[in-house]
Amino acid sequence: MLYRRLDGLREQASRRLAEELRNTGGTLQARSQRDSAVGMYAEQVEQFSAVESGLCFGRLDTDDGGRHYIGRIGIFDTSGDYDPLLIDWRAPAARAFYLATAANPQGVRRRRHLRTRERKVTALNDEVLDLATASPTAHEELTGEASLLAALNAGRTGRMRDIVETIQAEQDAVIRADLPGVLVVQGGPGTGKTAVALHRAAYLLYTHRRELATRGVLLVGPNATFLRYISQVLPALAETGVLLRTQGDLFPGVSARRTESPEAAALKGRLVMTEVLATAVRDRQWVPAEPLEVELPQREILRLDPATVSAARDRARRSGRPHNLARALFDIEIVHALSAQVADRIGADPLGGENLLDEADIAEIRRELREEPEVRAVLDELWPVLTPQRLLADLYASAERIAAAAPMLTAAERALLHREPGGWTPADVPLLDEAAELLGEDERAATARRERIRALQREYAEGVLEIARGSRSIDVEDEAEGGEILGVTDLLDADRLLERQEEVDRLTTAQRAAADRNWAFGHVIVDEAQELSPMAWRLLMRRCPSRSMTIVGDVAQTGALAGTPSWADALEPYVAQRWRLEELTVSYRTPAEIMAVAAEVLAGIDPALRPPRSVRESGFPPRERSVPAARLAAELVDVVTGEAAGLADGRLGVIVPAGRVAELGAAVTGALPEAAVGEHPELESRVVVLTVAQAKGLEFDSVVVVDPDRIVAESPRGRSDLYVALTRATQRLTTLHPTP
């Protein structure tokens, strides 16, 4: 019955859409109204089409006889009294679906979980919320236990699925937390931190659409593989306006993929780099030791002595403006000094009186000097206009510049910064952002660039209208009205045509935010936030002046040397005590057998830390195999082949030391050509070989961890990395140890 009503509404919306598309005439205002209607009806058709992929997943039967269907989006019957056909899971009316229990039924008599494939209901599970009939084996703190366990035991697909059908009470509290302020979500492996963060983004956009639609939501993940892994969750929840980025993509125009040593990345993440960059900028404001000669085309030679340059530099610095904006003041001082020399030469009174030039003459001399290439070259040498990329590239490429900018660092630390040009690392991005703050952008240049682009676009629009004018047929007089048929050139001029084209080309909020370094987001969500360095935190705080943030992570899984030791250390420099902590304590992904192994590693990291509590057992005790080091690759192939054969439709993750990923990946792909290896593996592959850093945030049905001792030895936070590797599996875990 529900599907038939939805089909009727979809057909109605499709019919209205077709009618609007046929309506191509009318005034510009009418066309604008038509465009708005087309967008609305097209969106309705798209939403109704989503029924094919399981739009409805639950039903609530209430004590008063009501029956309410719960789904991924809300749909109302617009043909009648606007009655709800489907209640959006984010609406207050749907919350009982996630919170009602037999002890606290919240007016719900029965909760039904529906599992569908296309239009067919493949399974359903009813919970009668009555203490007298409740199962004695059920977990009272879990809602929809049967559906939850079915989802947890299902094979992985290589993409994260939404958990909208199985959200638990502690997760729901985090998802629906208030928008303002900084919320920290601490949770161990498998507690659903990432899923909670994504669903919180969808909830906030639903609840605070007016505030967030124009300012946008930014979600920052640890790596590109992770972002691909979660990329389908928000679209499945009807939200496509969230900007997904890694740290390496947070500076417009830069995609940082270059690798570097953990020690170099850690140094770049320290706050001391703010002082290094500030000194590097000041070092580019050069005062020569000897006078400079400026030779003009007329072979006239002007001289700039160090005292004059120093005074001009000090005057520009006292303005407090960023480097590039202070350049205008520096130019004025230098040009004035040079023009005084010219004025003294050409305007001197032969009789020894006052200079014969008036202010207008001197102003003309200054204008001409500013246009002289030789003068501009000297100004660029003394106070160059810099981009963040040029400042940082020049600094890294020169040991002398590093020494001048970083006297506070040791010789070994300065050596870590020295490198040849050739791409950026993720740790460089916060430094580029810091440099942009120090340098500033001359808005005059940006405005001139926009005006040039608009002039070209207007010229093109005029050409289009000229063509239309030339092809227009002669006017045909209407005998009855005495009027004439109007052409496009009677309705539009070049400016109005350009405005309409700009409306068509309008970017989404996410697209505009991605291209604007100064964009202020309405809310920022950070996953695996424990990996952020102090410099990365500075960047994110600039992106969110309102300090409306959701921070998701687990300090026990910190792998980066410059990562977050505690949430207080990371946040209190920016928000003092004004942040709140929520903890997720239940692990849904990691079975109890595997969590017991991981708990031993966690105790080695910090005995005070406690692992999350697993809600299930897989029935597969972890396996441990020791093999001769010379046969490690061959044994790995045997293990992987066997595990892959035992997976009906799931995924196998092979986590190896970073130093052996190429060697062991080649061995696996030699036996299983469909396997994927490397930094950006195809996650849909049944077998994926990757490092711990690449595996962060991912999950697999079965995991093989190779040479755990080397994983610990080669990483600055080895035990934390091993803890991550051991907790990626939802069913089975195997470890391979090479023996001497």
Q: What is the pLDDT of residues 408-463, one digit of tens each?
A: 999 999 999 999 988 999 999 999 999 999 999 876 666 666 677 677 767 776 77
By residue count, the chain amounts to 740
Predicted pLDDT of residue 507: 72
* 520 contacts 153 by C-beta, under 8 angstroms: no
Closest of 19, 13, 10, 27 to residue 496, by C-alpha: 27
At residue 680 the predicted structure's pLDDT band, cuts being 50, 70 and 90, is low
Residue 320 pLDDT > 70? yes
The amino acid that residue 448 corresponds to is: A
Q: State the Cα–Cα distance between residues 226 and 228, nearest whole angstrom.
A: 5
* Cα separation, 252 vs 395, whole angstroms: 21
**Quick check: 263 and 715 in contact, CB under 8 A?**
no
Check if the beta carbon of residue 552 is closer than 8 Å to that of residue 526. Answer: yes
CA angle 571, 574, 580 (to 5 degrees): 45
Please tell me the predicted confidence (pLDDT) of residue 553: 94
Lowest mean pLDDT among 38-42, 344-348, 536-540, 718-722: 38-42
User: Would you state the pLDDT for residue 498?
Assistant: 64
- Residue 222, number of CB atoms within 10 A of its CB: 24
DSSP state of 244: E
Q: Is 126 or 310 the better-scoring residue by pLDDT? A: 310
Q: Are 500 and 461 in contact (CB under 8 A)?
A: no
| Confidence (pLDDT) at 113 | 85
Identify the pLDDT of residue 324: 95
pLDDT category, 521, cuts 50, 70, 90? very high
The amino acid sitting at 305 is D
pLDDT, residue 74, reads 85
Residue 114 has pLDDT above 70, yes or no: yes
Q: What percent of the chain has pLDDT over 90?
A: 47
Residue 250: pLDDT band (50, 70, 90) is: very high
CA dihedral 234, 193, 526, 183 (to 10 degrees): 110
Least confident of 251-265, 615-629, 654-668, 681-695: 681-695
Structure tokens at 401: 């510049």
Tokens of 99: 């919170």
Rounded Cα distance, 632 and 444, in Å? 63
Higher local confidence (pLDDT), 3 or 267? 267
Highest mean pLDDT among 19-28, 175-184, 506-515, 642-651: 175-184
Range among 30-39, 201-210, 382-391 with highest mean pLDDT value: 382-391
Query: What does the mean pLDDT of the chain come to?
Result: 83
**Distance between CA atoms of residues 727 and 164, nearest Å:** 23
pLDDT digits (tens, 9 = 90+) for 193-227: 999 999 999 999 999 988 898 899 999 999 888 88
Please give the full DSSP string across 108-122, using - where no structure is assigned.
EEEEEEEEEETTEEE
Q: Which residues contact 132 (CB under 8 A, 6 or more apart)?
A: none
Residues ≥6 apart with Cβ < 8 Å to 436: 251, 388, 517
The better pLDDT of the pair 592, 481 is held by: 592
Q: For residues 78 and 685, which has the higher predicted lDDT (pLDDT)?
A: 685
Instruction: Tell me the per-residue pLDDT of 144-175, one tens digit each, with 9 for 90 and over.
Output: 666 666 666 676 667 788 777 788 888 999 99
Q: Is the pLDDT of residue 302 over 80?
A: yes
Using the 8-state DSSP alphabet, how is residue 477 labeled?
Answer: B
Alpha helices in 372-504 (DSSP H): 373-382, 388-397, 399-405, 411-417, 428-439, 443-471, 488-491, 494-504
Q: What is the pLDDT of residue 711?
A: 94
User: What's the CA gap between 629 and 333, in Å, rounded?
Assistant: 71
- Cβ atoms of 103 and 142 within 8 Å: the answer is no
The confidence band for 44, taking pLDDT boundaries of 50, 70 and 90, is: low
Residue (of 392, 442, 440, 438) closest to 278 by Cα position: 438
Average pLDDT over residues 549-558: 93
> Which is more confident, 727 or 158?
727
How many Cα atoms within 13 Å fall on the side-chain side of residue 359? 0
- 3-state secondary structure (DSSP) of residue 452: helix
Which residues is 704 bridged to in the sheet? 654, 734
Greater model confidence, 201 or 81: 201
State the pLDDT at residue 139. 52
Q: Poorest-confidence range of 10-14, 124-128, 680-684? A: 10-14
